[in-house]
Chain A
Amino acid sequence: GAGVSQSPSNKVTEKGKDVELRCDPISGHTALYWYRQSLGQGLEFLIYFQGNSAPDKSGLPSDRFSAERTGGSVSTLTIQRTQQEDSAVYLCASRGGRGSGEQYFGPGTRLTVT
């Protein structure tokens, strides 16, 4: 079956512009995560959605970052007024039921802010 997909694969934007990154999780997966990976760094947690519960936004670095998950499926990460330090790879992952630990990652969106 299809894995996690993300679009676009690459995004170049000018400082100050808004960007939207999309994630299509594996069908039926109830949990969805967004991470940020800077060059040579580990995975920085951003936000976590689980079913219909309120999302855990504790990893969002500033109020310029927000995310939505519509209908328990597709998710969009929005970065407003982008800054150069926002340049990174943004990874999305989905996970099955609460008893399942494995996260399935998408290929990521490489964001470059010029």
Chain B
Amino acid sequence: GENVEQHPSTLSVQEGDSAVIKCTYSDSASNYFPWYKQELGKGPQLIIDIRSNVGEKKDQRIAVTLNKTAKHFSLHITETQPEDSAVYFCAASKGSYIPTFGRGTSLIVHP
């Protein structure tokens, strides 16, 4: 089955810096890669996703890049703000069905 590795497990940055979280996957048939943000006491919420037919997608301060050959994808957050502090999960799936999640990255943005 699919295996998703996520790094780092913890990331501490100063407000205004950029943050990058990286994930690798094992199943070359995976074609859908969402990123979720989970705030304390809440369920995860989708922040951005990418499909395998594109290499990059941006939405304001967040972007995701995908390298199908190397089987890795990354989340980039620019101009970080304290409200970006949360746990971020990457995931990979074939179609929209059952995603395999990474173990999460705890992002801490210091004011």
Residues of A within 8 A of B (CB): 4, 31, 33, 40-43, 45, 48, 50, 56, 59, 91, 93, 95, 98-108
Q: Which residue of A lies closest to B4 (CB)?
A: A42
Binds A, one of B13-21, B39-47, B58-66, B71-79: B39-47
Given A42-B89, A42-B104, A102–B49 Cβ distance below 8 Å?
A: yes
Enumerate chain A residues within 8 angstroms of B103, measured Cβ to Cβ.
41-42
Interface bin, chain B: 20 to 34
- Residue ranges of B at the interface with A (Cβ–Cβ < 8 Å): 6, 32, 34, 36, 41-46, 49, 51, 89, 93, 95-104
A50 to B9, CA, bound (A): 32
Residues of B within 8 A of A102 (CB): 34, 46, 49
CB distance from A1 to the nearest CB of B (A): 16
Q: Are A105 and B104 in contact (CB under 8 A)?
A: no
- Measured in the bound complex, the distance between the Cα atoms of B42 and A41 in whole Å is 15
What is the distance, in angstroms, from B32's C-beta to the closest C-beta of chain A?
Answer: 5
Structural contact, B43 and A105, CB atoms closer than 8 A: yes
CA distance A88 to B71 in the complex (A): 31
Q: Are B34 and A101 in contact (CB under 8 A)?
A: yes
Q: How many A-B residue pairs have CB under 8 A?
A: 54
Contacts of A43 in B (CB 8 A): 44, 89, 101
Instruction: A102 to B32: give the CA distance in the assembly, Å.
Output: 10
A33 to chain B: closest residue by CB: B98
CB of B97 within 8 A of CB of A48, answer yes
- Measured in the bound complex, the distance between the Cα atoms of B95 and A100 in whole Å is 9
15 contacts across the A-B interface (CB closer than 8 A)? A4-B43, A31-B96, A42-B102, A45-B99, A45-B100, A48-B97, A50-B97, A59-B98, A100-B96, A101-B96, A103-B46, A105-B43, A105-B45, A107-B43, A108-B42
B49 touches A101 (CB 8 A): yes
Q: Would you give the shortest CB distance from B105 to chain A, in whole angstroms?
A: 10
Q: Once bound together, how far apart are the Cα atoms of A107 and B40, in whole Å?
A: 10
Considering residues A56, A95, A105, which has the most beta carbons from chain B within 10 angstroms of its beta carbon? A105
Q: In the assembled complex, which residues on chain A have CB atoms less than 8 Å from the CB atom of B104?
A: 40-42
